[in-house]
Amino acid sequence: MRRSYLTLRRGSKINKKIVNTISITKKQVQKLAEETVDRYPVEACALLLGVYRGEKVVVKKVRITENVNNSSISFALDPSFVYRVLLEGERMGLEIVGIFHAHPALPYPSCSDREGMKLWPVIWLIAQNEPKEVFKLFAFKLGKEEEVEEVMVEVK
Ligand SMILES: [Zn+2]
């Protein structure tokens, strides 16, 4: 448990570091898009395992989970799921580099998201949860003064 905590804490370097891009594959985006459509109108959510490469965060694994709140305006993750993903990451030399969830409205961090971003200082990937619209991803992190900064999404 202690080591897992350390793994998570290492993610906090993104506030100080110049992480400005999250790199994700088309296949991973497809997985998130399908989950978003399947769960609609409930907010879909997932954890992203990956590595830090200079200014980039590279997503290696997408781990989808259910929204414990079963809500279209908020989300929560099952702590045992989070723990399993932390352990899986440790086994593979990966960290939790991002949290994904879908929004019914504006794909911008809400007040509660911003609180969550303080606890989980990783990249927050937010999708527009509107099936009729083109699936779009937006990424954010907290800056030095805990202000929301947009991060570039690179799809490969
Ligand atoms: Zn949100």
Q: How far is CA 82 from CA 16, 41, 52, 113, in A?
A: 24, 23, 19, 17
Fold of 2-155: Cytidine Deaminase; domain 2 (3.40.140)
CA 64 – ligand 1 centroid, Å: 16
Q: Which two tokens stand for residue 39?
A: 């769960």
CA 12 – ligand 1 centroid, Å: 20
Per-residue pLDDT of the chain (156 residues; tens, 9 = 90+): 344 444 444 445 555 568 899 999 999 999 999 999 999 999 999 999 999 998 999 999 999 999 999 999 999 999 999 999 999 999 999 999 999 999 987 889 999 999 999 989 899 999 988 767 788 999 999 988 889 999 999 999
pLDDT of residue 17: 64
CA 135 – ligand 1 centroid, Å: 16
CA angle 129, 67, 96 (to 5 degrees): 95
**Active-site option among 34, 35, 43, 146:** 43
Is 90 considered catalytic here? no
Indicate the domain borders of the chain: 2-155
